[in-house]
Amino acid sequence: MPSSIIAGVGHYVPSNVVTNKDLTKLMDTTDEWIIERTGIRERRYAHRTEETTTTMGIEASKIAIKNAGLKNEDIDFIIFATLSPDYYFPGCGVLLQRALKMQEIGALDVRNQCSGFIYAMSIADQFIKTGMYKNILVVGSEKHSFGLDFTTRGRNISVIFGDGAGAVVVQATEEKGRGILSTHLHSDGESAELLAMYNPGTHANHWTDVKYADFNNAELADMFMSHAMIDKAQNFPFMDGQAVFKKAVVKFPEVIMEALGKNKLKKEDINLLITHQANLRISQFVQKTLGLSDDKVYNNIDRYGNTTAASIPIALSEAFQSGKIIEGDIVCMAAFGSGFTWGSLIMKW
């Protein structure tokens, strides 16, 4: 059975740097307040009209494919993870396939938010191991800036998120002892509404207990995007930060230890841990819980903010390019986010 290796990595972030000081002009906040609570000093925002989730994914993909020593036509499957697609449908995968003039290969879109890249990698790993595909392009890309509430009302969320993309080429190899060792995926929808964007949506009963039979068609249409909903900021993301934090600091170490246990490895065997860049405080808590030194954990949230599905591949690309990952290293990746969903991946580079 072939194994799955990462043959190429790449990332792209917009040139527009938005500092905490820049945000103080839009909302009642301070640089100190943001750094203390999130560890973020700046983030990148895509150009409003010229850059999209797909175009950023394309740029990251070009680098990953080149670094893998391949051409676009060598890719035989695409997996695109994002919570911010260009269109409600179709997904970004086919738009990337079109732009890169690839063959008529399959394109799968993954909507698992912060855990999207780990889920996408797990899917790619299964396809590689079964021999169905040889070179899979996995992309994580997000353009959050178009849909945030840049007022004091929305500051707890809006200061956190940034835009960017990362991509990897997952390739089959017969070389023993290398590649993805295992992936571990979990979900718990009991608290789905604690980190969610309720609208646009197609089911009003997700957020209210009204009965459709009580309303006529005009009233029903208004329910899905009414002025009242806009007044309540239901067209923007919602997050109960404290609840998410409490869950994340439990599930992150748990799913990392699950991966280590599955492969009879110890915490000390990890050469580099890359967690989803949700909040520096969460990452530091996980690092302390696992007893890992600074040189074994990679964080870049201070420069990019939370880029959800893009955060792990961006960090992975940076870490590899800076020489922090070499052949033979045990690399662990883990994510936790909306759903709730969480997961981990462990590999021998």
Catalytic site positions: 114, 276, 306
Tokens standing for residue 344: 């981990």
Considering Cα of 276, then 197, then 248, then 37, what sign does the dihedral take?
positive
Could you give the CA distance from residue 79 to residue 88 in angstroms, rounded to a whole number?
17
DSSP percent split of the chain into helix, strand, coil, nearest 5: 40, 25, 35
Asked whether the beta carbons of 336 and 114 are under 8 A apart, the reply is yes
Closest residue by Cα to residue 319 from 343, 292, 297? 297
Beta strands 164-173 and 135-142 are antiparallel
Asked whether the beta carbons of 17 and 42 are under 8 A apart, the reply is yes
Neighbouring residues of 231: CB distance < 8 A, sequence distance ≥ 6: none
